Structure 1
Amino acid sequence: MIGRLKGILVTKQPPWLLVDVNGVGYELEVPMSTFYDLPDVGREVTLVTHYAVKEDAVALYGFLREAERSLFRGVQKVSGIGAKIALAVLSGVSVDDFARFVQTGDHAALTRIPGIGKKTAERMVLELRDRVDGFGSGGAPMTAFGEVPKDPVAEASVALQSLGYKPAEVTRLVKDAHAAGDTAEDIIRKALKAALR
């Protein structure tokens, strides 16, 4: 799998990019939320990626922020939603706005996103309401290795949610597992032990 690319931005024509990584050109499709914040052609860019293999094609999607990739992946877990609608969501609203619309059950706001009708909006609210907290904030800065939470507790929480634990469960597990001076790895290890008891 290809999880991250760092290279020179060769071309950008919405929604496509070409990034040169040590002489290899990677073609990626990106949402407009990423496209608007790209550097100029010829400059270095770092993208977190999602590599998708289908029966008839292979696709590579790029994102400037880890929260965007999380939302892209999470939205596709809703029955009947694929990459095209997931990209439309990210091109139409911010990660934080989408999370708010789902949590408040704002079907009207969701149906304003291209490609999302009333039934799709209802499915999104039903299937994602418990998971939108895991998408994180859309504006956190990128480092060379992606988006880095600010402290070990936050890092452990993100990791546990990515393993499939619900936000309320993660809060309880992390609270019980955390002790002063613990690293994120320590917290995760103790939380997983507690969860398996």
Structure 2
Amino acid sequence: MIASLTGAVAQVGLDHVVLVVGGVGMRVHTTPRLAGELRSGMEATVATTLVVREDSLTLYGFGDHAERDMFETVQTVSGVGPRLALALLAVLTPDDARRAIATSDTATLTKVPGIGKKGAERICLELRDKVGVVPVTGDDAPAVAITAPAWGDQVTAALVGLGYTAKQAEQAVEKVGPGLGENPQVSAALRAALQELGR
């Protein structure tokens, strides 16, 4: 198991980064939140998990171990694969997901593209006793603030990647933009847009 990677960021995509580790470029699939915090040339450490399939070996990377643990836990539910688990972490923090599961808050879980009411109920039923106690303190690690045009494009692309249409994504970004200030964080902007789309 590859638990983490440390190396120079060679490339940043909407849903992946390439880390150069020991001269080898490792493509790591990530949430839009983490991708938005990384820049080419910077040194980064990401928590990782390796998903093995018959025809592929795929690395998934996360900002911390809590995200990785939630990614792995959610996939123990029948019908939940890596893509859906990653979508959940794009919409919710690990603590938000744990809180929703522990309290059977299916409305919060169904905000994730690909999770319907029955799927949310199944996740709550199967994971309620596995997610543990949700801590009452502790904030998410701050994201890197970037300029407005870049955050708008990134959030729009991330929403499209999560299954929304380009028109829906653009409208959501336009609605939440004025309330986010001049240099919003990509993660905060993405959450605000998802909340707008979930109304």
Q: State the partner residue of 1:88.
A: 87
Higher Rg? 1
Kept after mapping to 1: 8 A contact 2:16/2:31: no
* Partners of 2:47 and 2:61 within 8 A in 1: yes
Distance 1:66 1:97, change over 3 A: same
Cα deviation for residue 2 of structure 1 reads 1.6
Separation in structure 2 between the aligned mates of residue 2 and residue 29 of structure 1, nearest angstrom: 14
Equivalent residue, structure 1, for 2:17: 17
Work out which structure has the larger RCO, using CA pairs closer than 8 Å and 6 or more positions apart in sequence: 2
Runs of 4+ in 1 over 6 A off after TM superposition: 134-138
Map 1:96-107 onto structure 2 (within 5 A).
Answer: 96-107=95-106
User: 1:18-57 counterparts in 2 under 5 A?
Assistant: 18-38=18-38, 40-57=39-56
Q: What secondary structure, in the 3-state scheme, does the structure 2 residue paired with 1:85 have?
A: helix
Deviation at 1:76, TM superposition (A): 0.1
For 2:121 and 2:18, locate their aligned partners in 1 and report how far apart those are by CA, in whole Å. Answer: 36
Give the aligned residue type for 2:104.
G
Q: Structure 1 residue 37: deviation in Å?
A: 2.8
Aligned to 1:77: 76
Amino acid at match of 1:5: L
1:44 shift after superposition:
0.1
Assess, with a 3 A threshold, how the Cα gap between structure 1 residues 71 and 91 changes in structure 2: closer, same or farther.
same
Question: Is the alpha carbon distance of 1:119 and 1:53 closer, same or farther for their aligned partners in structure 2, counting shifts above 3 Å?
Answer: same
Aligned-partner Cα distance in 2 for 1:7–1:17? 11
Where do residues 32-181 of structure 1 align in structure 2 (5 Å cutoff)?
32-38=32-38, 40-133=39-132, 139=140
Instruction: Find the aligned partners of 1:135 and 1:56 in 2 and give their Cα distance.
Output: 37
1:58-99 per-residue CA deviation (whole Å, 9 max, x = no partner) reads 101111200000000000001110001000000011111111
CA distance 1:80–1:4, shift in 2 (3 Å): same
Contact kept in structure 2, 1:78 and 1:124, CA below 8 Å: yes
| Runs of 5+ unmatched residues, structure 1 | 142-197
TM, length-normalised to structure 2: 0.66
How far off its partner does 1:116 sit?
0.3
Query: Aligned-pair distance for 1:3?
Result: 1.5
| Count of aligned residue pairs for this structure pair | 140
- Structure 2 residues without counterparts, runs of 5 or longer: 143-199
The CA RMSD measured in Å over matched residues stands at: 1.9
In the alignment, is the contact (CA less than 8 A) between 1:65 and 1:139 conserved in 2? no
